[in-house]
Chain A
Amino acid sequence: MHYEAPIREPLIIGDKSYHDITVEVARPIETKAPRIWWFAFSLALLLFLWGIGCILYTIGEGIGTWGLNKTVGWAWDITNFVWWVGIGHAGTLISAVLLLFRQKWRMAINRSAEAMTIFSVVQAALFPGIHMGRLWLGWYVFPFPNQYGSLWVNFNSPLLWDVFAISTYFSVSLVFWYVGLVPDFAMIRDRAINPVQKHIYKILSFGWGGKAKHWQRFEELSLVLAGLATPLVLSVHTIVSMDFATSVIPGWHTTIFPPYFVAGAIFSGFAMVQTLLLIVRKMYKMEHYITLQHIEMMNIVIMLTGSIVGVAYITELFMAWYSGVEYEQYAFLNRATGPYWWAYWSMMTCNVFSPQFMWFKKLRTNLIFTFIISIVVNIGMWFERFVIIVTSLHRDYLPSSWSMFSPSFVDIGIFLGTIGFFFVLFLLYTRTFPVIAQAELKTILKSSGEYYKKEQKDHGEH
């Protein structure tokens, strides 16, 4: 059996039995939604509807309704795209990379983090889709044999690699998420009283019977998917970064982009997981499973990745000077002191300075402070993408082309709409899906549960 040192903190608080875990995880699905849920859902739905309105307006009127201009031809939409893709990273990281590193605390949070991944990739995919203009021809991004002469996608373009990377990422994440859900859906099915509900979960759980053979196949598949998902964590944001870094625009073309984008993505993803789980934990009283230690761990990951991003910022700044290339030097000087200085310094403050508070145990175990920082980081990571994209473009090589970007109400509306859409999906998920991977969590109850750890301490180690 797995041995765990007594010095390690328990991951499940209180004297829980397997049945307690079942009941408490199934509760949000089996009971009526709390009032706060309805409130949050209505608000999210409203934003979503507003977003749909703005999208329809864009499609009807054209991209001219956005704030883009000839010099800044990429701005708000791509910022949002990268922001949402980045947020999606934490789910895969938690389910695959933390699995490889045997971090058992991932079990309380992986389900929701993976759900977040799926929902945020959906938001991300919207933006290029709309920006390309004719949404109904969106499938042109895929290479397919056709009768239009040699009408092929441009295989040399990182934008195409992005299509491949993100669609692969989405499919693997979805399958990974779903495979983990099967035993948990079966648990809901077995407990359901309402025949309609029972039938739905019966379909969803693929006839799971909990036999030894089922578990063996389940575990084997999980391992294979984890192996596939790990390089995907790196590849997706690497290729997003190449959308910029392969070009010869000062501030975009820099070799550190791939790993730095990945670190930033994990950073923002964990911040979003933190935001969501603090809400879930409170709304559904999951404090015994999503413990203070879980929150502390995530804060440490946020601090670590925030610092890595910080090192990358400083490296870029230093290299711009060191390179002796005047365009590079100007690009960074302009970022820090030009007309968009406020965006640059918001980014620096939110992403590099604010996570440093997490060095203090008092602060990283303070829920309200953690919640605030998680929001601050998300704002900062949005600004990071804005800074990279807009400040590099708005000063063209030709000074006569210099211009500024400001978003139109449609830009803002679509962004708010995706936030609404995201929360609509997430809130629906918390009512219909088990938000904690209970089958997996049960495997560590006897080695990491508080009650069992105490027993072990009182009665010797074996």
Chain B
Amino acid sequence: MFQFTSKAKTFSYILILVGLVSWVAGYVLNNSHEADSGNHTEVVAHTENTAHDAHELDMAHGHATAHGDGINHETQINNRPWSALMVNSFFFLALGLGTLFFLAVQYAAQAGWALGLTRVMEAIALFMPIPLIVIIVLIVLGQLHVHHLWHWMDPELYIEGGEHYDSIIAGKQGYLNFGFFLARAIIYLVGWTYAARWFRKNSLKEDEVGGDVYYKKNFKMGAIFLVFYGVTSSTSAWDFIMSIDTHWFSTLFGWYTFAGIFVTSIAGLTMLTIYLKGQGYMEWINENHLQDLGKFMFAFSVFWTYLWFSQFMLIWYANIPEEVTYYMQRFGEYKLLFFTMVAMNFVMPILIIMSRDSKRISGLLIFAGVFVLAGHWLDHYIMIMPGTVGSHYGFGLLEIGPFLFYFGLFILVVFRNLAKAPLLQKNHPMIKESEYFHQ
């Protein structure tokens, strides 16, 4: 049994508290800066030329970069605390959701090797509802105009003949309207949480009862969840992230976001497993299992890059204003971050864990995992920030605060879940395949 030590507990409380305080402090500072409508303390990269080009395109084709003329600097500065919260919420949602997906795949594919890890996966997957609830709160706050993350929530866009009327956004109203949007978010919350709890419940029952009843049940539920997730993974990415840049669209966006979610969660799972092993738990997990996790981390980093390249290259090559403004903005104000992010997510896994031997060394897996996690955090940052704060981005209390807050909460919730049940499930008909696993 895993022991959630009081030391770890205290550590998690401190993180939560520090995170909260930082965000609130950042919020206050941000609002006081708002008055003079400029931001002098933050790192601001602003390439006037590109921004100007993008603006000209907006004028010419009526397809603005996210908020062409809808958002002024004041709104962008005002958005930053909420954007920073959204980036971290989505990142931690990815950790839980990707793990839930991975767990369902294990059951649906009748895989044997990873069964020694199911308890860890369950514990992480059960964390998923928390950031999702925060996102739902953010949606409601957006509708109340506390912030302006989702541009389409502005009612003036839909007044025909009005100054701010936007025919393109008005055309999307059938999908992008508060009622339907909120309903979808709640469907994701209910559906995903239900699946996470179902897998947990059944694996605990299987411990008591045995036989292959639960094996069959989980197999079915795995398949059902994958169908549900196959649709909602795309729609949720369109909702939460793509609709921020309301004019912009990309058919690949859902799968691209999914690939990022998946690789994030594999890195998280690997690092937590190594941590637990380091604490003397999970002696049944050895370098063979770690190598497989490393393979997933490596392979899906490459897969993510493949999707990143496909989306980027096709839009760059075709160079039509409806689409290319998205990347023009990221090439302008976010250029350095943009390429750093790709390097972290693609080059680092290749350098660190491509060879067989390095996938069997815990230290190197953690080293690669840190790059992958940081890289995908940055990817979410670059997906969310340009459409909400434009050039007024930075890395300060506002960005670090929510991260620490969620990190503390993650430790608190996941460790509690881990402590509630034995770390190795028994009675699964294939559990011995995981025990005797070698390659």
Contact = CB atoms under 8 A, between A and B. Distances in A.
B35 interface: no
B318 A322 contact: no
A315 B234 contact: yes
Nearest to B168: A324
Contacts of A257: 251, 310, 314
A105 to B, nearest CB: 12
A311 B171 CA distance: 23
B310 A255 contact: yes
Contact of A311 (B231, B299, B320, B432): B231
Nearest to A254: B251
A7 B252 contact: no
A193 interface: no
A255 B314 contact: yes
Interface stretch (A134-142, A167-175, A214-222, A242-250): A242-250
Secondary structure of the B contact surface, majority rule: helix
A259 B307 contact: yes
Complex A-B, nearest 4 residue pairs according to Cβ-Cβ distance, in ascending order:
A256-B251, A255-B252, A3-B436, A258-B310
Nearest to B169: A324
Contacts of A274: none
Given A259-B255, A312-B251, A315-B251, 16 more contacts: A3-B436, A3-B437, A7-B430, A8-B110, A8-B430, A234-B306, A242-B313, A246-B318, A255-B253, A255-B310, A255-B315, A259-B307, A308-B230, A322-B172, A322-B238, A461-B432
Nearest to A227: B354
A308 B226 CA distance: 11
Contacts of A246: 314, 317-318
Contacts of A6: 429
Nearest to A263: B255
Contacts of B167: 324
B433 interface: yes
A4 interface: yes
Contacts of A311: 230-231, 234
B339 interface: no
Contacts of A316: 251
A308 B212 CA distance: 30
A49 B249 CA distance: 49
A417 to B, nearest CB: 34
B227 interface: yes
Nearest to B259: A259
Given A324-B168, A325-B322, A307 B227 contact: yes
Given A255-B310, A255-B315, A322 B175 contact: yes
Interface residues of A, number: 34
Contacts of B315: 255
A253 interface: yes
A255 B250 contact: yes
A333 to B, nearest CB: 14
A224 interface: no
A323 interface: yes
Interface in B420-437: 429-430, 432-433, 436-437
Interface of A: 3-8, 100, 231, 234, 238, 242, 245-248, 253-259, 307-308, 311-312, 315-316, 319, 322-325, 461
Contacts of B215: 7
Interface string B312-333: 0111011010100000000000
Given A307-B227, A315-B234, A319-B249, A3 B433 contact: yes
Contacts of B310: 238, 255, 257-259
B251 A255 contact: yes
Contact of A319 (B212, B251, B318, B433): B251
A329 B296 CA distance: 38
A176 B110 CA distance: 28
B19 interface: no
B254 interface: yes
A103 to B, nearest CB: 9
B106 interface: no
B314 A245 contact: yes
Interface in B200-239: 212, 215, 227, 230-231, 234, 238
Contacts of B295: 100
Given A256-B255, A311-B231, A323 B249 contact: yes
A315 B322 CA distance: 18
Contacts of B68: none
B314 A253 contact: yes
Contacts of B168: 324
Contacts of B247: 324
Of listed A6, A100, A319, A324, residue having the most chain B CB within 10 A: A324
Interface string B251-280: 111110000000000000000000000000
Contact of B318 (A7, A248, A307, A461): A248
A316 B252 CA distance: 9
B311 interface: yes
B112 interface: yes
A322 B306 contact: no
Given A315-B251, A324-B168, A255 B230 contact: no
Contacts of A234: 306
A59 B270 CA distance: 59
Contacts of B230: 307-308, 311
A331 B421 CA distance: 55
A17 B212 CA distance: 31
B172 to A, nearest CB: 6
A248 B320 contact: yes
A159 to B, nearest CB: 13
A304 to B, nearest CB: 9
A4 B433 contact: yes
A316 B437 CA distance: 42
A338 B110 CA distance: 44
Contacts of A254: 251-252, 314
Given A255-B251, A255-B310, A307-B230, A5 B432 contact: yes
16 contacts: A3-B437, A7-B430, A238-B310, A245-B314, A246-B314, A246-B318, A248-B318, A253-B318, A255-B252, A255-B253, A256-B250, A258-B310, A315-B254, A316-B251, A319-B250, A322-B175
